[in-house]
Structure formats: structure tokens, C-alpha cells
Amino acid sequence: MATTLSSIQAPVSTICAFSQRPHCPTGTQSLLFVSKPSNYVIFAKTSYSFKPSKIRPITALRATPSSSPPTTFHGQCYVLGDNIDTDQIIPAEHLTLVPSKPDEYKKLGSFAFSGLPTSLYPIPFIQPGTDSTQYPIIIAGANFGCGSSREHAPVALGAAGVRAVVAESYARIFFRNSVATGEVYPIELEHEGVNKQCTTGDIVTVDLDRNVFINHTKGKEFVLKPIGDAGPVIDAGGIFAYARKTGMISSMV
């Protein structure tokens, strides 16, 4: 089980391998399949889940090697079109919420995709009266996450319970922020038009080992692109862990 910050001495705590794994939501909202459970610590999602639950106990001054990342995601999908920008993901009026504050992190999640025009997206991403989503996987078209550099965008998705986005392509800052925060896995499709073959509510599986995306409801399989350059950063656990692993940040004293 993850050790809380308070039980680690201050200087040492800052050199913990900071695991940036997407965390597992509580309740029955979605399932996170992990094919290598022996190396993966599952973090329960609580209202303080943002940082403390992700800290792994350290046994040495150096950053510990991270556990292998999750390789499959499964659940209902929410389908979007092209050019979903950050204002639609999290409208700017909610940017007064500070993502590093646990209660505000949760509030951000409750506003995820509240900027989508209801004429185009009549099914709400988050049911009124609730604060998280039943759709852990997003299927999107091209240029997902375009617009602002606000990290609130991937954070809101992660806080709402999204585990992975499967899109044709990404805007670069959103992609980078997803990798840096570990809030959602940004996965790319090999071919265009997949979102047009899916419907919100379809049961899907994302398999990163085989690089396939399976739509069980429609009985179709699609090829995913390998994660590429971001792989080592994601595998290490985000930019901080990667920096410690490669010696860019030497240990605290």
C-alpha cells in the first residue's frame, strides 16, 4: 500500500519515485484491467487521491524503478468529433479551481466536458447530480485537446474518471500535459474515422500490449499506434520520475 507523505521524512519524500499512474476510481463506474498486477500497485481513489496516494514508498536515495504501466483499459466509451478544444473540455470560468488542491481537483472533474454544445452532444458526459463519469474511455477524432495550455484539461478528465483517450491525433500541449501529469493515457489510432464507427456507450477495450482498440458492442477492432517518444516518460512515471531516473535531478539531501 502507498505510504503517505507524513510518514516519510521531508527531505527524502521529495525524491520518491513519483508514480504518475492513472489511478483507479472507486465504485462501479469503471474497471481498470491490469495484465501485470504483481508489479502494479493499485491506488484507491479517495477525495485526497491526487498526489499522496500516488507516492510509492522508497527504499533508497535514488529514484526506485517504476512499476510497469497498465496495459489495458476497459469500459464504456464516449465519442467525440474533431478539434475538441480545451474550452470544451473545461470551460475557462472553472479555471479558478487549482488542480493541486484535492477538493478543487475533484470539482474540476465534475465540470469535465461541460463546454460541449448540447446540440451536438445530447448525452451528458457526467450525469446531472453526480461528479464523475461512467465513461472511462474517450474516442475522438483529430487534433484532440487543441487550444489552451491549461493543464486543467487533462486533469479534469482524469479527476472525472477518464483513464484513456483514444484519438486520431492530438494537439501537442494537451498531449504533453497528459504525459506529464499521468492523468490520462493519450493513445493514437492508426487510421482515421474510427470515431464515426463508435457510439457513446459502446463497451470497449484498449490493449496497449497488442496495440489494438476493440469495440465489443460493434464487434470491430482497430489498430493503435505505439506510444513513441512519450513512452519512456510515461513508463518512468511522468516528467519528475523520468528526470530522477535519468539522473537529471540528483537526489535531495
Partner 1 sequence: MATTVVPPHAAFFGAKKEIGARSSFSPSISAHRCRKHFLNKVLAVMAPAQPSRAPATTGSVKHGMTMTEKILAKSSDKSKLEPGENIWVNIDVLMTHDVCGPGTIGIFKKEFGKNAKVWDREKIVIIPDHYIFTSDERANRNVDIIRDFALEQNIKYFYDIKDLSNFKVNPDYKGVCHVALAQEGHCRPGEVLLGTDSHTCNAGAFGQFATGIGNTDAGFVMGTGKLLLKVPPTMRFVLDGEMPHYLLAKDLILQIIGEITVAGATYKSMEFVGSTVESLNMEERMTLCNMVVEAGGKNGVVPPDETTFKYLEGKTSVNYEPVYSDESAKFISEYRFDVSKLEPVVAKPHSPDNRALARECKDVKIDRVYIGSCTGGKTEDFMAAAKVFLASGKKVKVPTFLVPATQKVWIDLYSLPVPGSGGKTCSQIFEEAGCDTPASPSCGACLGGPRDTYARMNEPMVCVSTTNRNFPGRMGHKEGQIYLASPYTAAASALTGYVTDPREFLP
Site residues for partner 1, 170-209, by CB under 8 A, read: 170-173, 176-177, 180-181
Of 129, 209, 219, 253, which one interacts with partner 1 (CB under 8 A)?
253
Of 61, 65, 193, 226, which one interacts with partner 1 (CB under 8 A)?
61
Task: Give whichever of 87 and 207 is closer to partner 1, judged by the CB atom.
Answer: 87
CB of 106 to partner 1, least distance (A): 14
The C-alpha cell that represents 94 in the structure block: 472553472
Separation between Cα atoms, residue 127 and residue 241, nearest integer Å: 35
The C-alpha cell that represents 106 in the structure block: 475533484
Q: What is the per-residue DSSP string for 101-134?
A: SHHHHHHHHHTTTTTS-TTT--S-SS-TT-SS-S
Closest CA to 138 of 110, 112, 176: 112
Separation between Cα atoms, residue 94 and residue 90, nearest integer Å: 7
Asked if residue 46 binds partner 1 (CB under 8 A), the reply is no
Asked if residue 128 binds partner 1 (CB under 8 A), the reply is no
CB of 83 to partner 1, least distance (A): 6
Task: Tell me which stretch binds partner 1 (CB under 8 A): 9-17, 67-75, 194-202, 206-214.
Answer: 9-17
Of 29, 91, 131, 203, which one interacts with partner 1 (CB under 8 A)?
91
| Residue pointed to by grid coordinates 470544451 | 88
Annotate 117-142 with b (16+ C-beta within 10 A) or e (fewer). Answer: eeeebeeebbeeeebbbbbbbbbbbb
- Radius of gyration for the chain, computed over Cα atoms and rounded to the nearest angstrom: 18
Of 23, 45, 150, 163, which one interacts with partner 1 (CB under 8 A)?
150
Asked if residue 115 binds partner 1 (CB under 8 A), the reply is yes
Task: Give whichever of 137 and 171 is closer to partner 1, judged by the CB atom.
Answer: 171
Q: What sign does the CA torsion over 49, 54, 59, 60 have?
A: negative
Of 62, 68, 124, 199, which one interacts with partner 1 (CB under 8 A)?
62
Closest CA to 212 of 189, 239, 244, 242: 189
Of 22, 70, 109, 147, which one interacts with partner 1 (CB under 8 A)?
147
Of 1, 98, 123, 223, which one interacts with partner 1 (CB under 8 A)?
98
User: Contact, 178 vs 184, CB < 8 A?
Assistant: yes
CB of 131 to partner 1, least distance (A): 17
- Residues lying near partner 1 in the complex (CB under 8 A) are found at 10-11, 13-14, 18, 51, 61-62, 83, 85, 87-88, 91-93, 95-101, 115-118, 142-143, 146-152, 154, 169-173, 176-177, 180-181, 229, 233, 238-240, 242-243, 246-253
